[in-house]
Amino acid sequence: MLWLDSQGTVAVQAPRMREAMGASVVERAKAGDVTAFRELYAQHHRQVSRQLAFLVLRADLEDVLQDVFIEVFRSIKRFEGKSAFTTWLYRVTVHVAMKSRRKHTRSRLDIVDDVPEQVDERPRPEDVSLSAERQARVEALLEKLSEKKRAVLVMHDLQGVDAHVIAEVLDTNVLTVRTRLFYARRELEALAKDDPALAEFFQGGAS
C-alpha cells in the first residue's frame, strides 16, 4: 500500500511509515517520555499478554504482564536498535516470565496505572486456537517441563516463532533451540499419551 506526499507523488510504503512512527515512539520512551511509554503499552500489551499465556500460570498473567512493562520502562534506554523492538520486547517478556516462576516477590511501580482499562483485555474467540478446557490441560502438562524447554516449545509450536528469533530472544544458538525443542516435544508427547486430543495436537505441532 502506497501513500502520496503533498505534491501527489508516491512517497513511501505505508508499512515503512508505520515502522518509522513506531521507532519515534521508542526513541521518545528512551528519552524518558512517560507518555510515549504509555503509547508502547497500549500498542503492545495485548501481544505480550498472548505471549505470556503459556509461559506463566493463568492466575499470574496480569501481574507478570505489569512486570514486563515495568522492566521495559527500566531498561528501554539499553535498547540499541540492533534488532526489531518487538524482538527485544519478546526477549524481555520471556526473561520476566521465567524469572516470575522462580520468584514471586515483586516490587511494583505505578507506571501503567493511568492507562485506561481495556474492556476487551482477554483474547477474542477468533484469536484463541485452543478451547479453554484444552488450554487448561495443556498448561498442566507444560508445568511438568523445565522452564527452558517450555519456553522454546511455547514460542515455536504454540506461537509460531522462528528458531533463529528464539535463539536471539534466549541469547543462545539455533542448535540449542532445536535440541531443546526436540526433547520438549518428546517429553510432552509422552505426558499427553493418555489424552488423545492433546497427543494429536502436539504430534501435529511436531510435524
Q: Is 157 contained in some domain?
A: yes
Of 63, 85, 115, which residue sits at a domain end? 115
Count of domains observed in the chain = 2
Place of cell 521507532: 23
Check: CB of residue 177 under 8 Å from CB of residue 163. yes
Whether 178 shows a pLDDT value over 90: the answer reads yes
Averaged pLDDT score across all residues of the chain: 75
- Mean pLDDT along residues 106-126: 46
Q: Is 51 contained in some domain?
A: yes
Whether 121 shows a pLDDT value over 50: the answer reads no
Q: Is 73 left (phi over 0), alpha (psi -120 to 50) or beta?
A: alpha
Virtual torsion, Cα 128, 94, 175, 139, nearest 10 deg: -40
pLDDT band at 89 (very low <50, low <70, confident <90, very high): very high
142 and 189 inside one domain: yes
Q: Is 8 contained in some domain?
A: no
Of 46, 80, 115, which residue sits at a domain end? 115
pLDDT band at 132 (very low <50, low <70, confident <90, very high): low
Q: Round to whole Å and give the CA distance between 205 and 183.
A: 14
Residue 113: half-sphere exposure toward Cβ, Cα within 13 Å: 4
Q: Round to whole Å and give the CA distance between 3 and 16.
A: 11
Whether 116 shows a pLDDT value over 60: the answer reads no
**Start-to-end CA span in the chain (Å):** 35
Of 115, 147, 167, which residue sits at a domain end? 115
pTM, full prediction: 0.64
Determine the number of helices (DSSP H) and then strands (DSSP E) in the chain: 9, 2
Residue-range definition of the domain harbouring residue 184: 129-207
For residue 201, the domain's CATH number is 1.10.10.10
